[in-house]
Amino acid sequence: MDREQMRELVRSELEHIPKGDIDQNLLRATYEQARLNNLGGKSQVAGTRGDVMRFSIAQVRRSSPNATLTYDAAIFV
């Protein structure tokens, strides 16, 4: 998969993570970067898009433990 195909895939996945407050937008940004890394050759976050989402949520919760985060759970299993 080339870089543009990876970006297109991640853009389509981001449609299932709505924009919102600062914590929600941090989730989107963290997911986007972690997923691009995941799809690349030297992945630091291994696994499926669900694994990347769990990683992203954990990162947001480090700074905002009570954040209300919204995403389409059926997509990120």
Residue-wise pLDDT tens digits, 12-58: 999 999 999 999 999 999 999 999 999 998 899 999 999 999 999 99
The answer to the question of residue 72 being in a domain is no
The answer to the question of residue 8 being in a domain is yes
The answer to the question of residue 75 being in a domain is no
Q: Is 48 helix (H, G, I), strand (E, B) or coil?
A: coil
The answer to the question of residue 58 being in a domain is yes
The answer to the question of residue 18 being in a domain is yes
Q: Which alpha helices (H) appear in 1-77, and where do they start and end?
A: 3-14, 22-39, 49-63
Domain count, the chain: 1
pTM score: 0.95
How many angstroms separate the CA atoms of 45 and 53, rounded? 10
The answer to the question of residue 40 being in a domain is yes
The answer to the question of residue 16 being in a domain is yes
The answer to the question of residue 38 being in a domain is yes
- The phi and psi torsions of 42 (rounded to 5 degrees) equal -115, 65
Q: Is 17 in contact with 28 (CB distance < 8 Å)?
A: yes
Q: Is 24 in contact with 70 (CB distance < 8 Å)?
A: yes
Range of the domain at 30: 3-63
